[in-house]
Every structure is written in C-alpha cells, then in structure tokens.
A and B are shown apart, each in its own frame.
Chain A
Amino acid sequence: MKVKVVTRILEANDRIAEENSRLFKSHGVFVVNLMGAPGAGKTSVLERLIAGLGGSRRVGVIEGDIAGTEDAERISALGVPVVQINTGSACHLDANMINEVLADLPLDELDLLMIENVGNLVCPAEFNVGEDMKIMVLSVTEGHDKPLKYPLMFQRSGALIINKTDILPHVNTDMERVRRDARALNPGIRIFEVSSKTGEGFSPALIEFIECLSGLR
C-alpha cells in the first residue's frame, strides 16, 4: 500500500527551531548563528565583537565544537555567559542541541545570543536552530572561489564577515571576485572586511550593525 506523506525531511528539526525561536522572542534576545570553515576566525571575530560592543549590549554565547572547551574558555575570559556544546561526531549544530542547553543561559539578561557553529562550510547552512540571522565568517586565505563552491552558505547568510585582511598582501585572493560572487548569490548580503588580529574594520560599521541587530528585540 502506498501512503502519501509530503513532509519536509527536516520537519522535526524545524519544529524545535521554531520552539527555540519563540522562546528567544519571549525573552527579547536576538540570535545569530555564526558559521564558517574551521580556522576562519569565528571565535576571534566573536572576541572582537564582544570587546567592541563594550557592554552596550548584553551578550551570551553558545560554542559548538566536535570536541574540547577551548573556545568557551576564551569567551568566558571576557566575562560573558557561555555554554559549550560538544557534538561528538556531528558536523553541525541542530535545533535540539541548542534547545537542550538553553536552561543554562540567563536568557532574561541577554540582548544578543551568538551561536558559534561547528567549523564547516556545508552542513550548518541546512539546519536552522531558531536563529534570527545567519552570519558567515570567511578568511582571505580560503580563496576567492568559495562563494561559487559553497553557494548555500552565502545564500542563507544575512552578512558576510571577511576576516584576516591583514594578510591580503601575502595571498592571491581576489577580493573583488569574492564580493561580486557573494552579492550575485545573495544581493542583500552585508559584507564587512576585518582583521581580528589588528582589530581593523570592526569599528564603527560592523559593531554598529551588530548593535542595531540586537536592538531589534
């Protein structure tokens, strides 16, 4: 016997993501899902953003990694609440993993929750966790071909942070091509060019952008 089903395959994940999203809204927290390849500098960008906000917004962080607590320790040193998720072998965070740690965060006391996803340019783009916006970190060492090789991540992101601009003179990355292809895939994407090492590019544009997002709740 044939049974018509017609269900989204990730329906279970999307349902929990919606539940997370309702909870975030009820606490007035704006949530960013921060994605990018391993080593792109997601944690370093986060450190700069937290420092740059300088307490103007109350930030909390969820760190997603396959193993280890190094990232959470770095964030904790900045005095913001942080929870580490170890996915074991999973290459991305899903809505249920986020749901399970929400009780460990003081949501009522936050304006902005940054969720740092597992380093990966493919899978995290598929799994909503209840975020308001996906933001992607790309480093200049990854090359200008990334938008067309990993289109989904660029299409789903509201903003693209291009990191490590301090080493541009030493790499062959064509920045104009990155900008052009990212915008062709996603005309609305906001692009910021920064160096987490020197701090260049964060202030004022990117910091104001993040402040503005977290003021939306």
Chain B
Amino acid sequence: MHEASIAESILDIAALNCRKAGFERVRSIRVRIGSASGVEREALLFAFECMKGGTAAEDATLEIEMAALGGTCDNCMGEFEAEGAYVLSCPLCGSNAFRITRGHEMDIVEIEVN
C-alpha cells in the first residue's frame, strides 16, 4: 500500500526535474528498485498509473529496473548476489558474518522529457 506514497514521490521528483531542465512533459521515468526494498513492482506500476493523471507525467511510462540483493562476506571474503528479499547466511560459505550491500535501492535514475 505504501507504493502509492512512493509513486507520488516519483511523480514529484520527475515534474521538478522536468521543469528544471526547461521542459513541460515527462515521457518516461526510469527507476531502480532493490529486491529487498519492500516495494512490489506490480503494485508500484498500478499506483503510478492511478496517480499520474493531471501531472506533468500524465502520459509517461514508468520503467522499473529491479536490482538484486547482494553482499560481501567477512568470512570467505567473497561477493555474492542472491534471489529474493533476504539471505540468512552467506550463499558461498554458509557463514553468518556477511553484510548486505545492495538490494535496498529505491532510486530515480533518469527521466525523458519533451
């Protein structure tokens, strides 16, 4: 349900950057969402479609790039990438001494304007 607040923030940031660049319409918005961020891709797309009307991005498409969960292990010193929203141990050596370094992203990457 918080995807509505996130869609609203995306629309605000896109409109602001569109104006700053001296344009009026946003054609597309590309965002990067980590698989551990708690954001549901389909829910975000739905919220975006519901909320874009009447904004500078009312005809825009939202492109969602999903970023995998990843981390480094202090035991085997390896770098890993994993499916899903969490890991309970290092997928390489099974140790608990790992740190998650990627997968919580929630960024706007680029907008296309005209």
Contacts and interface: CB of A to CB of B under 8 A. Distances in A.
Contacts of A6: 107-110
Contact of A5 (B6, B36, B37, B108): B108
A122 B2 CA distance: 8
Interface in A125-152: 125-127, 148, 151-152
A68 interface: no
B88 A185 contact: yes
Interface stretch (A9-17, A28-36, A39-47, A100-108): A9-17
B60 to A, nearest CB: 12
B107 A184 contact: no
A99 B48 CA distance: 26
Contacts of B106: 8-10, 126
A163 to B, nearest CB: 23
Interface string B99-113: 000000011111111
| Chain A: number of interface residues, binned into ranges | 20 to 34
Contacts of B110: 2-6
Instruction: Return the 3 tightest CB-CB contacts between A and B, nearest first.
Output: A123-B2, A184-B88, A151-B86
Interface string A148-168: 100110010000000000000
A46 B83 CA distance: 37
A6 B108 CA distance: 5
Interface string B73-114: 000000000000110110000001000000000111111111
Contacts of A91: 1-2
Contact of A123 (B1, B21, B23): B1
B2 A127 contact: yes
Given A1-B23, A92-B2, A7 B114 contact: no
A80 B90 CA distance: 46
A111 interface: no
Contacts, number: 92
A71 interface: no
Q: Which of A5, A11, A90, A127 has the most CB of B within 10 A?
A: A5
B113 A3 contact: yes
A116 interface: no
A187 interface: yes
Contacts of A151: 36, 85-86
A155 B86 contact: yes
B21 to A, nearest CB: 5
A61 B97 CA distance: 37
A13 B13 CA distance: 12
B85 A13 contact: no
Interface string B5-19: 110011011100110
A193 B39 CA distance: 30
Contact of B112 (A2, A11, A92, A125): A2
A7 B5 CA distance: 16
B53 interface: no
B66 interface: no
A156 to B, nearest CB: 10
